[in-house]
Amino acid sequence: MKLVVAGTGYVGLVAGVCFAEKGHDVTCVDVDEHKVKQMEAGISPIYEEGLEELMQKNNAAGRLHYTTDYRSAYRDADAIFIGVGTPEQPDGSANLGYIATVSRQIAESVERDCLVVVKSTVPVGTNDKVEQFIKDFLIHDVKIEVASNPEFLAQGSAVRDTLHAARIIIGTESKEAEKLLMEIYEPFGLPVVSVSRRSAEMTKYASNDFLALKISYMNDIANLCELVGANIEDVAKGMSYDARIGANFLKAGIGYGGSCFPKDTKALKFLAEKAGYHLETVEAAVSVNQRQKTRLFRKASDRMITFQGLKVAVLGLAFKPGTDDLREAPSIDNVDLLLEEGADLYAYDPVAEDNFRKRYPQITYVDNPEKALEGANICFIFTEWKEISEVPARRYKELMQTPLVYDGRNVYDITEMKENGVEYYSIGR
């Protein structure tokens, strides 16, 4: 089937590549000529495990194409998937400007009946508006229908999450649209849940916000564990055996980040307020997460008289392992505070360094964790990269001037660190 994907970020590019991998003829559209040439050369503009290899494979097979010429791409597509960003606005609402731009381009370009599928995360009711918007600007006498097909991928495992998803959600208002989407996804061999457009839109927000709430709940419990002498890892283990709770998203830390949870919790809160409803649970998740991000810095501030002139090792910059994404990364909040206090920062991250350097050129960057630790007075761990967790506990004592470690991801065993002479603080333990 001839598919077009608008946007080549995490959502659009991963979707396009995976559609091609399942045998569809896919064209990815982007406004950035340099980015298009980069992708044509088989180079991924984002760091995502397995993505570049699949790009190269399907480029070579002639199933995957890239262009800035949206008119030609949209003209005779069977289906057009919209995967552009819906960034958060200051009031928490979603910015639908990119959706609107693509929608008008589609309206002015299509020359045959076409299904437009919105994969971007959008407020409930947006797809109704997109359909009407496209019809308002149609040039040719064609039939257009809009469907919702929200993605549930996680950065760092996006390819795997797409090819082996637990379910595919489709939201349609006609049997014809449902049938076409079923055919598109048939090669994936995955369960398809077919609902209305508005239910599909809400499913995306409800799912992400439930997971965000689960993370914030565990972080809140972790903070209480510290006060009463319990261990959050023991608590999580005990909880995980309950099938009603499950084992996922029980790991305590310094909060969630990335492109989805922060944005989607705020967007759902905004949607609820607009509807005249007070969504207390989601508001609590947002509040807890914001406080949790700087918990390490506050702990260290209670211990230190000053950070002025101290060498501080910063291990991990991305919001999670497996990605170079810095959006809402806890490292940013803490680095800002440390720089304000006059600390001399030495940072390590295996893939996010270049992105971080653009924002903080004044920081010293090193190519391995041990270089950051050499002569350091204090160390903060913000991301649980394997390259960091593999540093032996004894090396902190051997390399640091003062073996003082604040671990926001509970990478190390408390006893092991203590036995190796490291003053060690973690979350909920």
**In this structure, are residues 391 and 398 in contact, taking their beta carbons and an 8 Å threshold?**
no
User: How far is 384 from 388, CA to CA, in rounded Å?
Assistant: 7
Cβ-based neighbours of 19, under 8 Å, separated by 6 or more: 3, 5, 26, 81, 184
Give the C-alpha distances (Å, rounded to integers) separating 387 from 96, 316, 418.
Answer: 39, 10, 21
> Of how many residues is the chain composed?
429
Of 376, 380, 384, nearest to 402 by C-alpha is 376
* 275's tokens: 């509807």
**In this structure, are residues 366 and 346 in contact, taking their beta carbons and an 8 Å threshold?**
yes
E-assigned strand segments in 126-222: 144-148, 168-171, 192-195
DSSP 269-331: HHHHHHTT---HHHHHHHHHHHHHHTHHHHHHHHH-S--TT-EEEEE--SSSTT----TT-HH
- Which positions are catalytic? 260
User: How far is 117 from 21, CA to CA, in rounded Å?
Assistant: 19
Dihedral of CA atoms 336, 342, 344, 350 in degrees, nearest 10, equals 0
Chain position carrying tokens 């399942």 = 22
Cα angle value 15/328/423 (rounded, 5°): 125
